[in-house]
Amino acid sequence: MPEEFDKHTSAGIKCTQNQRDFYIASIPSDVLQKVCYVSRRDEDPVQGFQRVLNEGRAQSIAKYLQSDKGQIPSPLILSAKKEADFAFRSNRISFRTLDNVFLVLDGQHRLYGLSKLEESIETPVVVFSNLTLEDEVKLFIDINTNQKGVSTSLLLDIQSLRGDEAGRETENRRLFDLINQDSPLSGLLSSSKSARGKISRKTFYDFVNPIHDSIYLESLNTEGKYKGIRNYLQACSSILVSSQAQRQKLNNSIIFKAFMTLFPEVLERCYKRHENFKTESFYDVLQPVSSLDFDEYTGTNNVTLNRILTDIKRELLKAERSESVNSSLLF
C-alpha cells in the first residue's frame, strides 16, 4: 500500500506477558472513531462475539466526561488488523488511519461515549497485533470472565469518601446502618459485597429507594423512616413464622425483595385501617399472607419474584373483599 496514506504516531510502551507482546499508548478519540470497529454477535452471527450496545450506558459515559469533567483511565483494548500496518519502533507506535482497522475487544461503550463528545480527548489504549480470530475470541472471554470489576455494593459502601454524597444517598446509608443494628435483619446486611444469607447494600438501596417517595413517609426524617421500615420488617418476619416456613427467611434476597416491593401498598392499607405504622398494625394487614407456603418459592430470579408478588396480592385482595362483604351484612 502506498506510503502517502495518512499515518498516526504516538509514544508507546511495549509489554510482554507469557510470550505475547502488546503495546500501551494514548490516542486522540477522534482518531479512534475512524480506525476502530466492533464485531457484534447480533450483526454477524458467524464471527461476531461482542454484546449489543447499550445506548443509555454510552450516553452516561459521554455525560460523565463532558458535563461532569470526569476521567476514565481504563484503556480500550484493541486488535490491530493487517491493514493497519501497525508497528512499534523507537518507543513509538504507528499505524495507517484507515477505516475499521482496529477491532475493539473491550470498551465499546467507552468508544461510543467518546463519539458523542464535542472535542477530541486523549484516550488510553492497549493494542495487540497479529491476532487470529481464535486469539481475539479467547482474549475477549478472558477479559469478561477472569478480570472482574469491583462490586456495586463496594462502590456504594465507599461513596461517602468522595465528599459529595447526595442527600438520598446519605439517608440510604443511615437507614442501612440502623436496620443492620436494630431490626429483624440485624447483622444480616452486607456492606461491601454479596454474601450468602445476607442482603447486599445494592439490593437494600434498590428496594428502599421507592419508600422515600411514599406520601406517608416522604415528610419524615431518617429516624422516622427507619422506625417505619423496622416495624414493617418485624411484621414480615412474624408472618414468615406464622406461615411455618422452614427455609425462607427475611434475609433471603427474593423474600426481602418481595416484601419491600409491597411496602408502599401495605403502608397505604395500614394507615387507612389503623392510622399508624405500628408492628401490630402491619401484621394485621399482612396476616392473610401467612396462609402461603413460602418454602415453595425456590428461585431467585424475577420470575419467582413476580410469582410471590402475585400470590401475596391475591391473598390481600381476597381478605379485603371478605371484609367488604361482611360489612354489608350489617345493613
Largest CA-CA distance found in the chain, in angstroms, rounded: 98
The domain boundary, picked from 134, 149, 164, lies at: 149
- Count Cβ atoms below 10 Å from residue 288 Cβ, excluding itself: 18
Residue 1 domain-assigned (yes or no): no
Q: Which residue has the cell 435483619?
A: 185
The H-or-E segment that residue 233 falls in is helix 222-242
Single-letter amino acid, residue 328: S
Q: Is residue 289 part of a domain?
A: yes
Residues 144 and 201 in one domain: no
Same domain, 312 and 181: yes
**Domain for residue 317, yes or no?**
yes
DSSP string, 84-148: G--EEETTEEEEE--TT-EEEEE-HHHHHHHHT-SS--EEEEEEEES--HHHHHHHHHHHHHTS-
Residues 113 and 240 occupy one common structural domain: no
Q: pLDDT value at position 97?
A: 94
* Any domain includes 303: yes
Asked if residue 19 and residue 116 are part of one domain, the reply reads yes
In a domain, 2, yes or no: no
- Three-state SS at 22: strand
In a domain, 100, yes or no: yes
- Domain span at residue 56 reads 7-149
Residue that terminates a domain, selected from 149, 175, 195? 149
Among 104, 119, 103, 100, smallest CA distance to 62 is for: 119
125 domain residue, yes or no: yes
Contacts of 203 (CB under 8 A, 6+ apart): 253, 256, 257
198 and 139 part of one domain: no
CB 41 within 8 A of CB 48: yes
Question: Are 142 and 186 in a shared domain?
Answer: no
Which of 129, 149, 169 is at the close of a domain?
Answer: 149
Q: Indicate if 115 and 256 belong to the same structural domain.
A: no
Query: CA 66, 72, 75: angle at the middle one, nearest 5?
Result: 130
Q: How many domains does the chain have?
A: 2
Q: What is the pLDDT of residue 1?
A: 42
Mean pLDDT of successive 10-residue segments in the chain (331 residues)? 71 94 95 85 43 72 85 91 94 94 89 88 95 86 67 63 67 93 94 85 90 89 95 96 90 94 94 95 96 90 94 91 60 52
Same domain membership, residue 197 and residue 323? yes
* Helix or strand run (H / E) with residue 222: helix 222-242
Q: Where are the strands (E) in the chain, listed by range?
A: 7-17, 20-28, 36-37, 76-80, 87-89, 92-96, 102-106, 122-129, 189-190, 199-200
Whether 105 and 213 share a structural domain = no
Is 236 part of any domain?
Answer: yes
Q: What is the dihedral of CA 254, 258, 259, 262, to 10 degrees?
A: 170
CA distances from 108 to 95, 103, 190 (A): 20, 10, 32
**CA distance linking residue 308 with residue 289, whole number of Å:** 10
Give the pLDDT of residue 250.
93
Q: Evaluate if pTM is beyond 0.75.
A: no
- The burial class, CB within 10 Å (0-12 / 13-18 / 19+), for 78 is buried
